[in-house]
């Protein structure tokens, strides 16, 4: 069966963030084959500032699921790991976002791919740069490497090895 390579961003800033990311990765292994891991990047909060720094990473996941099935499974993982999102851009145990789904553009009321704000955030693009710097954004028509270079705002504070996830 044909598998689509998708890029999923992971973030956490409540509790043991690395443990939360590790648990999410293990759950994602149940819905596809993880091809690559990004390093973990520590970033200052985006939006709502009265919270701890975020730990961010990304994975490349090969899956035979379609976008709606995948987002439903991703939402179930967040629920299982007790995503605690009470404030927009606020603190949470886990946040999982489908950034790219192959080269597809998908726009439904509960899912937009590519993620509409990914190109504005270094804490999203930098982990993807680890995975596939020459991936071409299907709408912007620029590589992740170029999109990262064009960023204005910088939130990244520190970097850890992806080996912390496995």
Tell me the CATH number at 76: 3.30.70.560
**Which domain range does residue 124 map to?**
4-164
DSSP 91-120: --S-EEEEEEETT--EEETTEEES-TTGGG
CA dist., res. 106 & res. 146, Å (int):
22
**Tens-level pLDDT at each residue, the chain (166 residues):** 679 999 999 999 999 999 999 999 999 999 999 999 999 999 998 887 888 999 999 999 999 999 999 999 999 999 999 887 678 878 899 999 999 999 999 999 889 999 999 999 999 999 999 999 999 999 999 999 999 999 987 878 888 876 666 6
Nearest to 164 by CA among 43, 21, 14: 21
Length of the chain equals 166
Specify the number of domains making up the chain.
1
Between the alpha carbon of residue 87 and those of residues 53, 84, 115, 121, 128, the distances in Å are: 15, 9, 19, 19, 26
């Amino acid at each position: 069966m044909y598998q689509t390579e998708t890029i999923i961003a992971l973030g956490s800033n409540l509790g043991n963030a690395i443990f939360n990311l590790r648990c999410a990765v293990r759950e994602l292994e149940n819905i596809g084959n993880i091809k690559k891991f990004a390093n973990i990047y520590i970033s200052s909060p985006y939006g709502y500032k009265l919270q701890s720094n975020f730990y961010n990473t990304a994975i490349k996941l090969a899956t035979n699921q379609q976008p709606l099935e995948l987002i439903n499974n991703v939402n179930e993982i967040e629920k299982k790991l007790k995503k605690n999102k009470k404030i927009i851009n606020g603190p949470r145990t886990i946040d999982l976002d489908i950034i790219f789904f192959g080269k597809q553009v998908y726009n439904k009321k509960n899912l937009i791919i590519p993620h509409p704000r990914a190109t504005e955030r270094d804490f999203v693009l930098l982990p993807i740069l680890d995975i596939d710097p020459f991936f071409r954004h299907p709408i912007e028509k620029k590589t992740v490497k170029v999109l990262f270079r064009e960023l204005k705002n910088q939130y990244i504070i520190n970097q850890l090895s992806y080996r912390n996830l496995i």
